[in-house]
Amino acid sequence: MVISMPLTSALTAPVPVAAVPAQLDLADALLALLREADTEPRPDQQLEALTLAVAADLPVLLWGEPGIGKTAALTQLATALDLPLTTVIASVHEPADFAGLPVIGDDPATQGVPMAPPDWAVRLVRAGRGLLFLDELSTAPPAVQAALLRLVLERRIGALQLPPGVRIVAAANPRASAADGWELSPPLANRFVHLQWVHDHEVVVRGLGGTWPRAVLPRLDADRLAAAVDFARRAVCGLLAVRPNLVHRLPTTETRRGGAWPSPRSWEMTLRLIAFATAAGVDREVLSLLVRGTVGDGPGLELLAHLDRMELPDPETLLADPAGAELPERGDLRQAALEAVVAAVHHRPERARWDAAWAVLARALETGAPDLVVVPAKTLAALRRADWPVPNTVERLAGTVALDERVDRSVARAKAVGGAHR
């Protein structure tokens, strides 16, 4: 006969002592399995921008809503780069924790009062390298932000100098979603490369399945280092030479002053980022994230447009050798190069140059989209002098590209004149 125990008795029945550790061990084993994850090489522009800024030894500030994965990204980055991670919650510290704690010695009148650093800073110095993660930066009150200025820029805490192998990354929530949040002070904000951290649906789904993107430092080309520095200097100095009002522009609103804005300091950071991006050959979208995150959207976009103009081929070089003309792959740059060729002919109109320009357009037609040739061809046709015969190149273009009636009339008139002379 089966004797059943009342439910209340079953709930209150003592559990064998040996069973509790066994269940906790199983729980720990399950948690360990849940923490296991692989990584894979996967295009991720924001992660690539973060790793490039870390390689350039610039402080980075990740902005994102709570729970977006900023802390997890930093943990994975430290693991991938084999850097010991030190996390400091800025908002729970006092200013003295970053400026140094005064320690009175035997004779302060002669020896002074040294400023002792906190234990985590001492551990970083002993390790000689590491990733210092300043979390919840937007919840740090103004006094703490002021104490962080020297740490972020000079890497000094009290009397202690952090070694060059220590990189600094911070994270913050927008003020509206931060716990008792503050706007960043302009001096502190201007010391960071600001990156907006957003989630990618596919990355999250695949990561929860056990595979996250792999953080990899950019591969710098040793043969391009000197050229990369020269290009970066010419880019920044060339823009600021014609746009001097961009050298320093403090935003008018408190919120924008807590983000990226142009100053001599942030332009120096931008120059470094361009040099690293050029030496590594990174995607232009990655460079766009970094540049706009350093000097702001407006100046950053102007700089990117200036970089595009710098990469355009010399129109005189194209006119000198149309058959070997190397035109940009990007459509907007290709059209700009063709329009520059036509403008060069307009500046010095000669028959040989006019013929060469048509050969350049034919080359563009062979190597790219036909629609990019339409506008330059219309403008070039209008530059024809009455005594200039139409080259055979024009007929090939007219048969492929829908030129306007003015071009067609010009071709017909030239053929008629040529037939009369024959």
Residue 372: the pLDDT is: 84
Residue range 283-341, pLDDT digits in tens: 999 999 999 999 999 999 999 999 988 878 888 889 998 888 888 888 888 888 898 89
Provide long-range contacts, Cβ within 8 A and 24+ apart, for 413-422.
Answer: 414/384, 414/388, 414/389, 414/390, 415/390, 417/389, 418/389, 418/390
pLDDT above 70 coverage of the chain, percent: 85
| Continuous segment of H or E residues that includes residue 195 | strand 193-196
Residue 19: φ, ψ to 5°: -75, -25
Is-contact 273 291, C-beta < 8 A? yes
Residue 265 has pLDDT above 90, yes or no: yes
SS3 percent helix, strand, coil of the chain, rounded to 5, is 60, 10, 30
Sheet holding 129-135, edge to edge: 85-89, 129-135, 165-172, 60-63, 193-196
Model pTM score: 0.76
Residue range 338-389, pLDDT digits in tens: 988 999 999 999 999 998 999 898 888 888 778 888 888 888 888 988 888 8
Within 10 Å of residue 67's Cβ, how many Cβ atoms? 11
Residue 382: φ, ψ to 5°: -70, -15
Residue 403 has pLDDT above 90, yes or no: no
Two tokens, residue 137: 């930066």
Where does residue 82 fall: left (phi above 0), alpha (psi -120 to 50 degrees), or beta otherwise? left
Residue 404: the pLDDT is: 45
Is-contact 294 259, C-beta < 8 A? no
CA-nearest of 367, 355, 291, 297 to 326 is: 367
Residue range 148-161, pLDDT digits in tens: 998 998 898 888 89
Cα separation, 229 vs 295, whole angstroms: 19
Q: Evaluate the CA torsion angle 143, 145, 148, 150 in order and state its sign.
A: negative
Which fold would CATH assign to domain 41-101+115-213? Answer: Rossmann fold (3.40.50)
Residue range 130-188, pLDDT digits in tens: 999 998 888 888 888 998 998 998 898 888 899 999 999 999 888 766 666 688 899 99
Locate the domains of the chain by residue range.
Answer: 41-101+115-213, 222-310, 315-421
Least confident of 13-27, 115-129, 133-147, 229-243: 13-27
Residue 278 vs residue 395, higher pLDDT: 278
